[in-house]
């Protein structure tokens, strides 16, 4: 495999963002994801190969290590940051349609709720796994999800809530979505939720963390 892609994969897996970033200490003063992605493009590597042969496998490995309790959220975020440093160089190719991602995930914290750190973590990891993420923010009303689906009719929807008083709004949102888009898959998450609650409100899935979430997305992606 291309040497640059291999180096890029290692940088993202270890959270090395760019040359000046001090983390991880053992990679000090070396090129990071930012420089290597640019070098790879300049050397004629296709943006699709950069995404699928370096970035996605790196984030897969990160997810795997997280699932095995070998690394924790902070390291995962460093990798996500390195990943986005590389992605900046790929953005024009996503826009032109030259590179395709696995699909679109529309995500948001449900109306009445303002907690966004957990949702943000999910967005970053899902994006790292090769999906396009449309983040609608916090306190998102049912009609905002429906409007997003008007633009991305094939999108999968992710709902987040952190209080028992707001998780009940998930059901309202799911009902609104299904009225217009009965086929849309909806996944839910957040501290007070569980699989039983998800099933009861008609969600297709509950995941306890972003890594479980990407695993589920992988399964339903065709």
Partner 1 sequence: MTAFTQFNIPLRELAVDPQAAAPMLGYDSDLPEDILAMVREVMDKTTDCYDIRGGYYILDGLTFDNDEHSLLVEGTNFQTGKIIFHQLKHSEQVALFVCTAGVGIEKWSKQMMTNNDPLAGFIADIMGGVVVEAAIDKIQQSLSNDMKDKGLKITNRYSPGYCGWQTAEQHKLFALLPDTLGIRLTESALMQPVKSVSGIIGIGANVQFNPYTCRLCEATHCVYRYKKVSSIR
The region that residue 159 occupies, defined by phi over 0 for left and psi between -120 and 50 for alpha, beta otherwise, is: beta
Which residue lies nearer to partner 1 by CB, 84 or 184? 84
Q: How far is the CB of 140 from ligand B12 (least distance, A)?
A: 12
Q: Which residues contact 25 (CB under 8 A, 6 or more apart)?
A: none
Structure tokens at 43: 């050397």
Among 3, 48, 70, 74, binds partner 1 (CB under 8 A): 74
Nearest to 33, CA basis, from 67, 95, 79, 92: 79
Binding to partner 1 by residue 84, rule CB under 8 A?
yes
- Stretch binding partner 1 (CB under 8 A), from 1-9, 51-59, 115-123, 143-151: 115-123
Q: How far is the CB of 33 from partner 1 (least distance, A)?
A: 12
For residues 92 and 56, give the distance between their C-alpha atoms in angstroms, rounded to a whole number.
18
Q: Which residue, chain included where needed, has tokens 């290590």?
A: 65
- Stretch binding partner 1 (CB under 8 A), from 44-52, 71-79, 98-106, 143-151: 71-79
Applying CB under 8 A, the residues found at the interface with partner 1 are: 23-25, 72-74, 77-78, 80-81, 84-85, 111-117, 120-121, 124, 163-166, 169
């Amino acid at each position: 495999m291309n040497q640059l892609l291999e180096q890029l994969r290692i940088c993202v897996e270890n959270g090395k963002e760019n040359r000046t970033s001090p983390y991880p200490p053992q990679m000090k003063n070396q090129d990071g994801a930012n420089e290597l992605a640019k070098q790879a493009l300049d050397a004629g590597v296709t943006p699709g190969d950069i995404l699928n042969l370096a970035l996605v496998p790196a984030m897969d490995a990160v997810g795997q290590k997280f699932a095995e309790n070998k690394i924790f959220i902070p390291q995962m975020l460093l990798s996500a940051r390195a990943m986005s440093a590389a992605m900046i160089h790929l953005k024009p190719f996503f826009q032109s349609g030259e590179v395709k991602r696995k699909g679109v995930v529309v995500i948001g914290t449900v109306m009445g709720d303002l907690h966004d750190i957990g949702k943000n973590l999910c967005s970053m990891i899902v994006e790292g796994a090769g999906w396009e993420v449309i983040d609608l923010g916090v306190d998102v009303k049912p009609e905002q999800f429906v409007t997003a689906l008007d633009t991305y009719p094939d999108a999968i929807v992710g709902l987040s809530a952190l209080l028992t008083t707001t998780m009940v709004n998930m059901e309202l949102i799911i009902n609104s979505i299904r009225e217009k888009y009965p086929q849309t898959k909806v996944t839910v998450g957040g501290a007070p939720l569980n699989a039983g609650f998800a099933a009861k409100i008609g969600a297709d899935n509950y995941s306890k963390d972003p890594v479980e979430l990407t695993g589920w997305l992988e399964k339903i992606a065709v």
